[in-house]
A and B are shown apart, each in its own frame.
Chain A
Amino acid sequence: MHWINWVIVVAYLVYVVVDGIRKSKDTDSISGYFVANKSLAWWVVGLSVMATQLSAVTMIGTTGQGATDGLRFVQTYLGLPLAMVILGVTIVPMLHGSGVYTAYEYLERRFDAKTRSLTAFLFLLSRGMSCGTILAAPAVVFSAIFGLPLVWSVALIGLPTVIYTMIGGVQAVAWADVKQMVLIVVALVAVMAVLLVQMPVNPDEALRIAGSTGRLQAFDFSFDINETYTFWSGLIGGTFLMLSYFGTDQSQVQRFLTARSVEEANSSLLMSAYWKIPLQALVLLVGVGVFVYYQFVRPPLLYNPAHEVAVTAEAGAAYSALESRYADAFTLREAAALSVADATDEPSAEAAMETFLARETEIQVIRGEALALAGEVTGEATEDVNYIIPRFVLSELPIGLAGLFIAGVIAAAMSSIAAELNALATASVIDFYRRWVRPEADDAHYLLVSKGATGFWGVFACVVALYAATLGSLIEVVNRFGSFFYGSILGVFLLAMMPRAKGWAGFVGLIAGMTVVGFVNFGTDIAYLWQNIIGAGVVVAVGLVVGGGGEASPTEA
């Protein structure tokens, strides 16, 4: 990467850390450290909510998905606006008004200590691991692209994040999120602008080429519960997923607990309701744009440069033969793409598209052979979707803009990791340390322990990121386990809103919900968005049966 790009990246990293430390002035109590003394404006919280949800995986993985699969993924977010509005009249006033630090703390007031501890433990387990994977995704890509040892890439992203989160608490996290969100949007818009300017065909022709491969199919109205992305799974299952994520996951709940009032907390969530789908569409359209651009500028046969180097060194002759076939196939596909763009009537357009799709299939066959060769040589997974956009950015974007985009990817990673570290520390200290170990210590003691907990989770995330490749199957198990938990914990909060549900209702309902979702997950092909509804439904049904009668608990009043 050009030195000017590196200067931009380093300047961004230094600025984030220095600014984060400056923001630590009001964090001399755990209220300041964990919920900013409920002092933040709605737009700060709103941008923080959006930045937390938008990780580096969105910047490199989702854009890559746009290039290979098109716009279908946008359907996942169809339920988000509705979920935000529902949260505004249910969970937000309930949690913000109750003066809790964590969502799980509320569950003890409503049910009992074991329900609180179980939900908090599940959060720590799943989010602790996912924090490592969020860090690993961009670190592995940077390591391959810049030729850095993985430990350096992890340190580049992880170390500054841990420093400002540990020192500045939620205040530093939220204000850093604001700048990071601005940087992310600017970077995405800049890439889109460059694509539009440098594209050899006009936007109408580009859309025709993308559309001929099915990449502009944003909606699938078929009602198939085994299909991952459909309009209905996104709208119905997605609403439950978003209710659960934004309403019960501490990494998001903690964002709106920092707002000055319930009204401002609601306004902060509505920012996502308004902008999430357009932003996600932009992310995917950038990927679609890169796909079209690469019809006219030959992309690398293997997007992962580390694999490219390894294959060239160890199977040079076979790889050269593949590259030669690839070059010929590319020339033919480019001509076919131009025919699609130039077609003036329907018969000629149909013929051009047919030829283009055949040429595209040839390219994919050759790519498949190259990926298989890379797999044989390296013994590693060869899926290279996450490398498409970084390779495009570094080879095609002007100096300066490439640095801006790389800084944007790091910003996206940092904003998500920081919020999670902050939330993990909060749940560790409030739901376990203060609840079970030292209930009577003074504020200064808890503050010290909180900073230590943030540091601990930061180191834990870095270690998981370093060993992400070897921990692959374990991480997958934990992520899958986490998905059982999502709909089910929403069910517990729904139960909490029902005056009839008491005592054991939350605990037994949660165990039942997770068990049923576990069976559904392993035993059927039902897509994961629907599993959230099943989990929530089982928890509520079982909870009402178990705890639907008897005396109200004394803390309930």
Chain B
Amino acid sequence: MTSTDHDAAPGAARPPSRFRTTLIRVLIVQAVALTLLGLLQLVYNVG
């Protein structure tokens, strides 16, 4: 499929922007890291 095909398909879903894709990936990795730290706090921290 060429870019012209995209242009010729009104109403077709636009691919997600590179910014949004990157942001989502970064957020997923951070969510995993922060969840692990949060679990440490929830399970063990009582101070």
Q: Of B26, B38, B41, B44, which contacts A270 at CB under 8 A?
A: B26
> Does B46 belong to the interface (CB within 8 Å)?
yes
Segment from A213-221, A240-248, A467-475 that makes contact with B: A213-221
Contact B47 A214, beta carbon cutoff 8 Å: yes
Contact A278 B33, beta carbon cutoff 8 Å: yes
* Min distance, Cβ B8 to any Cβ of chain A, angstroms: 28
* Min distance, Cβ B25 to any Cβ of chain A, angstroms: 8
> Does B29 belong to the interface (CB within 8 Å)?
yes
In B1-47, the 8 Å CB interface with A consists of 19, 22-23, 26-27, 29-30, 33-34, 37-38, 40-41, 43-47
Q: Which residue of B lies closest to A215 (CB)?
A: B47
- Given A85-B26, A274-B29, A277-B34, A214-B45 contact (CB < 8 Å): yes
Segment from A14-22, A35-43, A203-211, A507-515 that makes contact with B: A203-211
- What residues on B are CB-neighbors of A74 within 8 Å? 37
A214 CA / B44 CA spacing, docked (Å) = 9
* Min distance, Cβ A247 to any Cβ of chain B, angstroms: 16
Contact B22 A270, beta carbon cutoff 8 Å: yes
* Min distance, Cβ B3 to any Cβ of chain A, angstroms: 19
* Min distance, Cβ B35 to any Cβ of chain A, angstroms: 11
> Does A81 belong to the interface (CB within 8 Å)?
yes
Contact digits for A67-90, partner B, Cβ 8 Å, 1 yes 0 no: 000010010001001101100110
> Does A212 belong to the interface (CB within 8 Å)?
yes
Contact A216 B30, beta carbon cutoff 8 Å: no
- Given A212-B47, A217-B45, A84-B37 contact (CB < 8 Å): no
- What residues on B are CB-neighbors of A213 within 8 Å? 47
Q: Of B22, B33, B38, which contacts A277 at CB under 8 A?
A: B33
* Min distance, Cβ A142 to any Cβ of chain B, angstroms: 32
* Min distance, Cβ B7 to any Cβ of chain A, angstroms: 24
- What residues on B are CB-neighbors of A214 within 8 Å? 45-47
A208 CA / B41 CA spacing, docked (Å) = 10
* Min distance, Cβ B16 to any Cβ of chain A, angstroms: 14
- Given A212-B47, A214-B47, A217-B45, A281-B26 contact (CB < 8 Å): no
* Min distance, Cβ A192 to any Cβ of chain B, angstroms: 15
* Min distance, Cβ A26 to any Cβ of chain B, angstroms: 31
Contact A207 B27, beta carbon cutoff 8 Å: no
In A176-235, the 8 Å CB interface with B consists of 207-208, 210-219
* Min distance, Cβ B20 to any Cβ of chain A, angstroms: 10
- What residues on B are CB-neighbors of A89 within 8 Å? 19
In A268-286, the 8 Å CB interface with B consists of 270, 273-274, 277-278, 281
- Given A74-B37, A217-B41, A353-B26 contact (CB < 8 Å): no
* Min distance, Cβ A200 to any Cβ of chain B, angstroms: 18
Contact B44 A216, beta carbon cutoff 8 Å: yes
Contact A216 B45, beta carbon cutoff 8 Å: yes
* Min distance, Cβ A27 to any Cβ of chain B, angstroms: 33
User: Which residue among B40, B45, B47 has the maximum number of chain A CB atoms within 10 Å of its CB?
Assistant: B45
- Given A81-B27, A85-B26, A274-B26, A207-B19 contact (CB < 8 Å): no
Q: Of A210, A211, A219, which contacts B37 at CB under 8 A?
A: A219
Contact B41 A216, beta carbon cutoff 8 Å: yes
Contact B22 A211, beta carbon cutoff 8 Å: no
- What residues on A are CB-neighbors of B33 within 8 Å? 277-278, 281
A74 CA / B37 CA spacing, docked (Å) = 10
- What residues on A are CB-neighbors of B44 within 8 Å? 207-208, 210-211, 216
A82 CA / B34 CA spacing, docked (Å) = 14
Contact A84 B26, beta carbon cutoff 8 Å: yes
A89 CA / B21 CA spacing, docked (Å) = 13
A78 CA / B37 CA spacing, docked (Å) = 12
A544 CA / B37 CA spacing, docked (Å) = 42
A548 CA / B27 CA spacing, docked (Å) = 36
Contact A218 B26, beta carbon cutoff 8 Å: no
Contact A71 B47, beta carbon cutoff 8 Å: no
Q: Which residue of B lies closest to A71 (CB)?
A: B37
Contact A85 B37, beta carbon cutoff 8 Å: no
- What residues on A are CB-neighbors of B37 within 8 Å? 71, 74, 218-219, 281
- What residues on A are CB-neighbors of B43 within 8 Å? 207, 211
- What residues on B are CB-neighbors of A217 within 8 Å? 41, 45, 47
Contact B40 A207, beta carbon cutoff 8 Å: yes
Contact digits for A274-309, partner B, Cβ 8 Å, 1 yes 0 no: 100110010000000000000000000000000000
Q: Of B40, B41, B46, which contacts A212 at CB under 8 A?
A: B46
Contact A273 B26, beta carbon cutoff 8 Å: yes
* Min distance, Cβ B31 to any Cβ of chain A, angstroms: 10
A281 CA / B30 CA spacing, docked (Å) = 12
- The 7 A-B pairs with the shortest beta carbon distances in the complex, nearest first, are A214-B47, A211-B44, A216-B45, A218-B37, A211-B45, A207-B44, A81-B26
- Residues on B lying within 8 angstroms of A by beta carbon are 19, 22-23, 26-27, 29-30, 33-34, 37-38, 40-41, 43-47
Could you show 29 A-B contacts with beta carbons less than 8 Å apart? A71-B37, A71-B40, A74-B37, A81-B26, A81-B27, A85-B22, A88-B19, A207-B40, A208-B44, A211-B40, A211-B45, A211-B46, A212-B47, A213-B47, A214-B47, A215-B47, A216-B41, A216-B44, A216-B45, A217-B45, A218-B34, A218-B37, A218-B41, A219-B34, A219-B37, A219-B41, A274-B26, A277-B34, A353-B46
